[in-house]
């Protein structure tokens, strides 16, 4: 049965691990969509570590932008599609906007570009029979950032998270490796309880 699940929480809360665990439980053909760009040696190391930790049988698309379109262009059918993560997608949109238009880029431009990205992803979610497991971060739980670009990023990601959550059947919030269903009913345990 198709389920679309948004997994959210803070950094290192267990979101990606939970998505991978759910994909293994669901089984079948898995597509992993990675959105991170290797901008420096640390990110390259992280990307390599993540690549090596995934099962070899999973297909991977590495796309820093246009993930919905890239998913729709795949010619294979998948039981599960993991998108990891919206947080990096939003970062890529902000970085690209700043690189093209400078630090004075308007909130409307960034919001519009990220809305296009999430609309394309939502279209893929609706069009395909695959279960989607979408990872993102809750970045608005702390203090208000002290600079304009950080606030712009936080706000754009928050709105993108809301749009994607609305299109999902379930939303799971993770904290310290523990999960809490905030939308949709949690699945029955394997014992049927």
Task: Locate all alpha helices (DSSP H) within 74-176, ordered by sequence.
Answer: 86-101, 107-127, 148-167
- How long is the chain? 193
Q: How far is 185 from 171, CA to CA, in rounded Å?
A: 9
Catalytic pick among 3, 14, 17, 50: 50
Residue 181 is among the residues annotated as catalytic for this protein:
no
Helix or strand (DSSP H, E) at 43: helix 41-53
Distance of alpha carbon 51 from the chain centroid? 16
Q: For residue 77, what is the DSSP state? A: -
Cα atoms in the Cβ-side hemisphere of radius 13 Å centred on 14 = 12
Q: Which residues are catalytic?
A: 50
């Amino acid at each position: 049965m198709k389920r679309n699940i948004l997994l959210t929480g803070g950094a290192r809360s267990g979101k990606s691990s939970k998505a991978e665990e759910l994909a293994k439980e669901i089984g079948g053909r898995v597509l992993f969509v990675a959105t991170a760009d290797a901008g420096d040696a640390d990110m390259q190391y992280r990307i390599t570590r993540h690549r090596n930790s995934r099962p070899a049988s999973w297909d991977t698309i590495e796309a820093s932008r246009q993930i919905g379109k890239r998913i729709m262009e795949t010619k294979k059918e998948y039981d599960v599609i993991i998108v990891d993560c919206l947080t990096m997608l939003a970062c890529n949109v902000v970085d690209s906007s700043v690189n093209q238009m400078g630090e004075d880029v308007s909130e409307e431009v960034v919001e519009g570009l990220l809305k296009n990205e999430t609309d394309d992803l939502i279209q893929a979610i609706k069009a395909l029979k695959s279960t989607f497991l979408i990872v993102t971060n809750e970045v608005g739980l702390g203090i208000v950032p002290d600079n304009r670009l950080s606030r712009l990023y936080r706000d754009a990601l928050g709105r993108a998270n809301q749009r994607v959550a609305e299109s999902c059947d379930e939303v799971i919030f993770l904290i310290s490796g523990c999960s809490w269903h905030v939308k949709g009913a949690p699945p029955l345990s394997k014992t049927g309880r």
